[in-house]
Amino acid sequence: MKKDAKIYVAGHRGLVGSAIVKNLEAKGYTNLLMRTHAELDLTDQQQVAAFFAAEKPEYVFLAAAKVGGIVANNTYRAEFIYENLQIQNNVIHQSYLNGVKKLMFLGSTCIYPKNAPQPMPEDCLLTDTLEYTNEPYAIAKIAGIKMCESYNLQYGTNYISVMPTNLYGPNDNFDLEKSHVLPALIRKIHCAKLLNEGRDDELVKDLGVDNIDEAKAYLARYGVDGDHVEIWGTGKPMREFLWSEDMADACVFLMENRDFKDTYTLAKGVNTTCTPNAPKSPEIRNTHINIGTGEDVSIKELAETIKKIVGFKGELYFNSEKPDGTMKKLTDVSKLHALGWRHSVELGEGIKMIYEWYIGSGR
């Protein structure tokens, strides 16, 4: 990509999209296209068609999506499949019609079967049943992968699909009801620390409530007081986490240095756990790329690390009567490594950085 190439980042305000913009700007790219949802509704076919016809982007990062945690995925199943399919269909098809040179589609490792082998290689896609709670979202993302593959094979386009593991970083969602586990733990433990140290004004400001009694009542709903933080489950499940700016770096690296053909040629010899006896045929599939660290940590160890970094003096309570969820979700990143990229931010360093960002964000 030339430094003055017109690059459209869809979803530039989100966790990954904002990190991609930051990475591109740091590398000297000067012609970035960005639109808010109010300016461009990506689920609207006519709006997207008009945007592409007018702006003619040369490169596209498709980081826009309807996302949420387990409760949101399971509650708003229709919205998650409809809106994500609409966004993908519109952006990918208009990229083809308007001659986009390269597109990157961002998905999620929830595309893999519920009982996929660990770590999860790319060739496990569509080999078994999906996790029920996020099945509509996963199916939409699988459709996006197959749409990119199909356009590449039929029309000769150059679209790459990447599947990130659990991400965290600047502009993350810290809402205690809707956030994922790492930002939720940071906020719960930070709030418990403020209570423990009698920093009532800071706590009231953080939660956006009127007084300390309201703050205490709100936190009690999530098992938080000045001496204890409740965490659902036994703490034994293992999870993998990737710093969002590492994810962005991987995306930009692949856009700068790799093409669709590399996703099934340069990556030969990677893990084929799910299809060890795959036929030697011209079939091209599973060209998507896992983006992760290939390392995981228990929820208990994660919580203890956050507690130490935050400086909370109270206790962590693991409520074993609450569900653990899937016990292990680790990505196989041998394909990513074969393509030439590895993560640089380790989890402990990343937690320190995101905590500093959180307390400095004006909450």
pLDDT for 301 equals 97
| Cis peptide leading into residue 119 (ω within 30°) | yes
341 located within any domain: no
Shared-domain flag, residues 110 and 146 = yes
3-state secondary structure of 296: coil
C-alpha 303/C-alpha 300 separation (Å) is 5
Shared-domain flag, residues 12 and 143 = yes
141-160 in b/e burial notation, b at 16+ Cβ within 10 A?
Answer: bbbbbbbbbebbeeeebbbb
pLDDT for 203 equals 96
Nearest 5 degrees, angle CA 297-CA 23-CA 3?
A: 150
pLDDT for 72 equals 79
Q: Find out whether 81 and 124 touch, Cβ atoms under 8 Å.
A: no
59 located within any domain: yes
C-alpha 217/C-alpha 359 separation (Å) is 22
C-alpha 47/C-alpha 39 separation (Å) is 9
Active-site residue, selected from the candidate residues 137, 159, 168, 355:
137
Taking phi over 0 as left and psi of -120 to 50 as alpha, with beta for the rest, 286 belongs to left
Domain CATH number, residue 317 = 3.90.25.10
Shared-domain flag, residues 41 and 96 = yes
Determine the residue type at 89: N
Shared-domain flag, residues 245 and 134 = yes
3-state secondary structure of 168: strand
Q: Is 137 a catalytic residue?
A: yes
Shared-domain flag, residues 203 and 226 = yes
> Please, what sign has the CA dihedral across residues 173, 202, 200, 193?
positive
74 located within any domain: yes
**Structural domain boundaries enclosing 136:** 7-169+240-291
130 located within any domain: yes
Shared-domain flag, residues 164 and 95 = yes
Shared-domain flag, residues 207 and 307 = yes
pLDDT for 279 equals 55
pLDDT for 272 equals 66
Q: Is the pTM of this model over 0.85?
A: yes
23 located within any domain: yes
Residue 315: its H or E element? strand 315-319
pLDDT for 269 equals 62
110 located within any domain: yes
Among all chains, which residue has been given the structure tokens 């969820």?
325
Per-residue pLDDT of the chain (363 residues; tens, 9 = 90+): 999 999 999 999 999 999 999 999 999 999 999 999 999 999 999 999 999 999 999 999 999 998 877 777 888 899 999 999 999 999 999 999 999 999 999 999 999 999 999 999 999 999 999 988 889 999 999 999 999 999 999 999 999 999 999 999 998 889 888 788 899 999 999 999 999 999 999 999 999 999 999 999 999 999 999 999 999 999 999 999 999 999 999 999 999 999 999 998 866 666 666 766 655 556 899 999 999 999 999 999 999 999 999 999 999 999 999 888 788 899 999 999 999 999 999 999 999 999 999 998 755
Q: Strand pairing of 289-291 and 159-164?
A: parallel
pLDDT for 281 equals 55
Q: Find out whether 109 and 241 touch, Cβ atoms under 8 Å.
A: no
190 located within any domain: yes
Shared-domain flag, residues 99 and 192 = no
Shared-domain flag, residues 86 and 196 = no
Task: State the burial class of residue 22 (Cβ atoms within 10 Å of its Cβ: 0-12, 13-18, 19+).
Answer: middle
Domain CATH number, residue 87 = 3.40.50.720
Residue of 52, 77, 186, 197 lying closest to 137 (CA atoms): 77
Shared-domain flag, residues 38 and 81 = yes
**Number of domains present in the structure of the chain:** 2
pLDDT for 363 equals 58
Shared-domain flag, residues 107 and 191 = no
251 located within any domain: yes
330 contacts: CB under 8 Å, gap ≥ 6 = 118, 119, 120, 165, 238, 240, 292, 294, 295, 296
C-alpha 203/C-alpha 212 separation (Å) is 7
pLDDT for 73 equals 80
Q: What is the per-residue pLDDT across 262-294, written as a single tens digit (0 to 9) for each?
A: 998 866 666 666 766 655 556 899 999 999 999
C-alpha 204/C-alpha 260 separation (Å) is 50
**Would you state the structure tokens that stand for residue 312, as one six-digit string?**
């909370």
Which residues are bridge partners to 331 per DSSP?
Answer: 120
C-alpha 129/C-alpha 113 separation (Å) is 5
Shared-domain flag, residues 29 and 84 = yes
